[in-house]
Amino acid sequence: MHDPQNAMVRKRSPGLAHDIVAELTQRILLGQLVPGEKLPSESAIVREQGVSRTVVREAISKLQASGLVETRHGIGTFVLERDQRHGIQLSRDTAASVRGILELRMGLETQAAALAAKRRTAEQLLQMRQALDDHQDSLANNDSSVEPDLRFHRLIAQATGNTYFTDIIAQLGRSAIPRTRINSEERGDADLKQLGQMAVLEHEAILRAIRRQDPDAARAAMLLHLSNSLERMAGE
């Protein structure tokens, strides 16, 4: 049973909707919530998580936007069949939509990095190293670095040995890289090359943790990278 005082703290804590989205997404992708199954009611999630109804409604809205669930008025929210989802449904290219994608990735990719640290192979390490080298070369030549950036994240997902991680990263596609989706007006004077160099340093920290098979460090490095991406590109 939740401590009422703790529940009050949780209501004021940031990122609660993201936490619920990440948990429910995991349950759906791992088959713990099967297609056609009704999600727990708002009241049940409020009691279970110790959060407000506003937080729960925000989380459900994000799940709908991702194409994982649909809400039927007066009945409830249901998990969609895979062939009904048509991949992740992305809204137009705004800071708000990028923020939503990054929040989803924080839940998924921090765990992916931790699993990759425990399960990666020597060959996968070499491929990750090549992706980062290609990323650096692209920046040096003023070429687009989106492909090697995305490849690095896909390789981490593959190294988990869990196809659900690779499936969802594949569905996100290029939208997973924030700088491909923020228009110049919203981005202001941000220097994309400088942003890319900061991402390289963060990627290197992730790779070092995966190489030495330190899941806690890999999780922390990925969280720092995605949190920094959110701060750099999406704003508050």
CA distance 76 to 41: 7
Domain 95-234 fold is Four Helix Bundle (Hemerythrin (Met), subunit A) (1.20.120)
How deeply is 36 buried, as exposed, middle or buried, from its count of CB atoms within 10 A (0-12, 13-18, 19+)?
Answer: exposed
For 68, residues 6+ apart whose C-beta sits below 8 A from its C-beta are 24, 25, 28, 79, 80, 85
Domain edges within the chain: 4-85, 95-234
Its pTM stands at 0.58
pLDDT tens for the chain, 236 residues long, are 444 444 443 444 447 888 888 888 878 776 788 888 999 999 999 999 899 999 999 889 888 877 788 888 888 999 887 654 445 555 444 566 677 778 888 889 999 999 999 999 999 999 999 999 998 988 888 877 788 888 999 999 999 999 888 888 877 766 566 554 444 444 444 455 677 788 889 999 999 999 999 999 999 999 999 998 888 764 44
- For domain 4-85, give the CATH number: 1.10.10.10
